[in-house]
Structure 1
Amino acid sequence: MGVSGGARMTERLSRPAVLAIDAGNSKTDAALIAADGTVLGTGRSGGFQPQRTGVGAALDVLERAVAEAAEAAAVPRSAPGAPYADRVSACLANADLPVEERRLAEAIGARGWGAATAVYNDTFAILRAGLSGTEPPRGVAVVCGAGINCVGMRPDGRTARFPALGQLSGDWGGGGGLAAEALWWAARAEDGRGGPTELAAALPAYFGLASMAELIEALHLGALAQRRTHELVPVLFAVAAAGDPVASALVERQADEVVALASVALARLDLLDEEAPVLLGGGVLTAGHEQLDGRIAAQLARRAPRARPSVVSAPPVLGSGLLGLDALGALPGAQEKLRAHFG
């Protein structure tokens, strides 16, 4: 049986305004949000890795978070394929190129979760979450988690971004890069090809091993999963804080990469000569490493003296939701209400 125009209008007015999704490498958060900024329900699922699992399987992971949010919000689909919300606003890791954003938007749109769908790289979520008020986004965000990325926006719609594809696109650092560098220097210190560093003892000791040779063997043969090397990043920072010159040099290089990304993005947007926020997010940049934070502040003051750096501790799904409300022309106070919900 068909649905009347009046029934369709009632359904549209009663359903949530935004389905916000933030999907990283390790977890996915979803939230259904009303037009006034009220969070109706949230959900969580695993990481979004379409390059490893394929797009279909990766979207299945997102769908579990979406379904959980819909259940929490008591927003069932009125019919198969009926939208949960007026707009899907999805900020996704591994959507590094505009063409990938478009393809993922089409794939998510085909799932019918929203009447309209927009996909952004997940760094845009950090940028929007860190900017207060209801004005269009203006500033730059740098994220340093498993990898490293940077985006910037101006109210006129101009953006600055980088491919963020690792060494292929000129990137260095992030948690994965730092761990790999620490292992490289520690291996060479132990076998004599490199200079001494406390990393040679500290890295294997973290896993209860006696030497780098044991750690290398465990990683190579699979006794220790490669993904666990990310756990070595805090060890690197602890060794650096104790004064180890090799570890300190890696921390300083990471800071310089953050500043290089931010200052180039500001220059591309003609913001170097204006006061502009530089928002820092991701596990490495929100952990409060004194040496890293101090170097970033000092180098940013030299290269972009009018930049205003700050750390974004709010969950990135907030940024996804704000982008969705922005696109719908949110009611007055909706952004503030949403921001208050996420603290």
Structure 2
Amino acid sequence: MNKNTIELLAVDGGGTKTRAVLVEADGTILGEGKAGASNYHVVGAEGAKKTLVEAVLAAFNDAGIEPDHTVKLNKAVFALAGIDTVIDEKEVAGVVQRAVTALSIEIGRLLVENDCLSTLLGATQNNAGILLIAGTGSIIFAHDGNNRIVRSGGWGHRVGDEGSGYWIGKQAIQAVLKMVDGRGEETLLSKLILEKFNFNKIEDLYNWTYSDSYSVDEVGALAAVVDEAFRLGDTVSKRILDAAVSELLLLIETAIEKADIQQDEFDMIFQGGVFHHNHYIKNQVCQRIQQSTTKVKIRTTTEEPISNIIKRGLVLI
């Protein structure tokens, strides 16, 4: 294909995978590319640059277009994880600029922003709204429909991500260790977690948590085990899920107050594995928010974030 002008390049980059899409003005996808992690906190600045180049090149290859100085992109949105502070903004902007230089492509309007923020603005088309993501991690963004954009949470698995899959999984492991010590109640989580990891004894679980094999994603996957134990009547698991509900509600209430949209009509979008797979948490959060905020319209979406990042890019002037 000989195409020198492309309307939009949309990139969704996270801690495990990166997706790049070339898009026509009417939303038609010309080509798509995928690569690994592009969060510079995970792979470093140089690693992030290489991943972005790889994903974008794959999109051009899929579209049958040779990327060089003759190709012009009217707009490009790089929606990337890891942009949480002013320092992050500067660092990631440099990473993206080096990637664009390496690709030798011309971009008319270049936007680099936090991936969750980009998804929210695309999903709500700049109207008032809230996006709460509870997957392996957790974060919330709110927009008042004008110029106020606020966030809460998203501080990572070491010091934050309350209510997320990882947080739930970590609480489950702690509950098992407390049970072994005699400091906590008996819980089905002991048996189910050992089966999940194919361990023979609790000591194996403990050793794994301090080994090189320890994985944030695998701990996050234990949220499903907690849900299973809850459905089997495990009271410890119910307390963990209730605590997660409280943490997610705190994120929501804080975002609503900071964005000052208490009296407004707005969409609230739930995204992430916790909402898709744990119906107890989703139902509890929905019921309690609707009781306190009558004008909210709640949506749970399975739509890929890149779809909303594309919408975000297409409306850019």
TM-score by length of 2: 0.89
- Aligned partner letter, 2:91: R
Residue 95 of structure 1 pairs with residue 73 of structure 2? no
Distance of 1:170 and 1:54 partners within structure 2 = 21
Displacement of 1:227 in angstroms is 4.6
2:227 to 237, 261, 272: 237
Displacement of 1:293 in angstroms is 1.2
Aligned to 1:23: 13
Displacement of 1:203 in angstroms is 0.6
- 1:61 is paired with a residue whose SS is helix
Offset from partner CA, 1:52-93 (integer Å, 9 cap, x none): 3211111211221111111111222233xx655222211111
Shift of the 83–253 alpha-carbon distance from structure 1 to 2, 3 Å rule, reads farther
Distance of 1:163 and 1:116 partners within structure 2 = 30
Contact 1:219/1:226 (<8 A) preserved: no
Distance of 2:95 and 2:297 partners within structure 1 = 37
- Aligned partner letter, 1:317: I
Distance of 1:229 and 1:60 partners within structure 2 = 28
Aligned to 1:334: none
Distance of 1:93 and 1:111 partners within structure 2 = 16
Offset from partner CA, 1:183-218 (integer Å, 9 cap, x none): 011111123121111111111111122322222123
- 1:29 is paired with a residue whose SS is strand
RMSD: 2.3
Residue 302 of structure 1 pairs with residue 291 of structure 2? yes
Distance of 2:56 and 2:274 partners within structure 1 = 28
Aligned to 2:93: 105
Shift of the 227–277 alpha-carbon distance from structure 1 to 2, 3 Å rule, reads closer
Aligned to 1:335: none
Aligned to 1:317: 306
* Uncovered stretches (5+) of structure 1, i.e. residues with no partner: 1-10, 329-343
Shift of the 314–121 alpha-carbon distance from structure 1 to 2, 3 Å rule, reads same
Contact 2:74/2:109 (<8 A) preserved: yes
Which stretch shows the higher mean deviation, 107-116 or 245-254? 107-116
What does 1:168-317 correspond to in 2, within 5 Å? 171-222=161-212, 225=215, 227-287=217-277, 289-317=278-306
Distance of 2:271 and 2:22 partners within structure 1 = 23
Distance of 1:23 and 1:155 partners within structure 2 = 25
Aligned to 2:114: 121
Shift of the 191–24 alpha-carbon distance from structure 1 to 2, 3 Å rule, reads same
Displacement of 1:263 in angstroms is 2.2
1:165 to 133, 144, 155: 155
- 2:210 is paired with a residue whose SS is helix
* Uncovered stretches (5+) of structure 2, i.e. residues with no partner: none
What does 1:6-85 correspond to in 2, within 5 Å? 14-79=4-69, 85=73
Shift of the 102–227 alpha-carbon distance from structure 1 to 2, 3 Å rule, reads same
Contact 1:130/1:312 (<8 A) preserved: no
- Aligned partner letter, 1:65: A
Which stretch shows the higher mean deviation, 115-124 or 39-48? 115-124
Shift of the 175–167 alpha-carbon distance from structure 1 to 2, 3 Å rule, reads closer
Contact 1:75/1:84 (<8 A) preserved: no
TM-score by length of 1: 0.83
Contact 1:31/1:40 (<8 A) preserved: yes
- 1:54 is paired with a residue whose SS is helix
Displacement of 1:281 in angstroms is 0.7
Shift of the 65–86 alpha-carbon distance from structure 1 to 2, 3 Å rule, reads same
Shift of the 226–24 alpha-carbon distance from structure 1 to 2, 3 Å rule, reads closer
Shift of the 226–31 alpha-carbon distance from structure 1 to 2, 3 Å rule, reads closer
Contact 1:241/1:291 (<8 A) preserved: no
Displacement of 1:226 in angstroms is 5.8
Shift of the 326–303 alpha-carbon distance from structure 1 to 2, 3 Å rule, reads same
Offset from partner CA, 1:200-251 (integer Å, 9 cap, x none): 1111111122322222123334466565323322111111222211111111
Which stretch shows the higher mean deviation, 24-33 or 252-261? 252-261
Aligned residue pair count:
311
Distance of 1:227 and 1:84 partners within structure 2 = 38
Distance of 1:34 and 1:106 partners within structure 2 = 27
- 2:170 is paired with a residue whose SS is helix
Contact 1:262/1:278 (<8 A) preserved: no
- 1:277 is paired with a residue whose SS is strand
- Aligned partner letter, 1:210: N
Shift of the 41–226 alpha-carbon distance from structure 1 to 2, 3 Å rule, reads closer
What percentage of residue pairs aligned between the two structures are identical? Answer: 22
- Aligned partner letter, 2:251: L
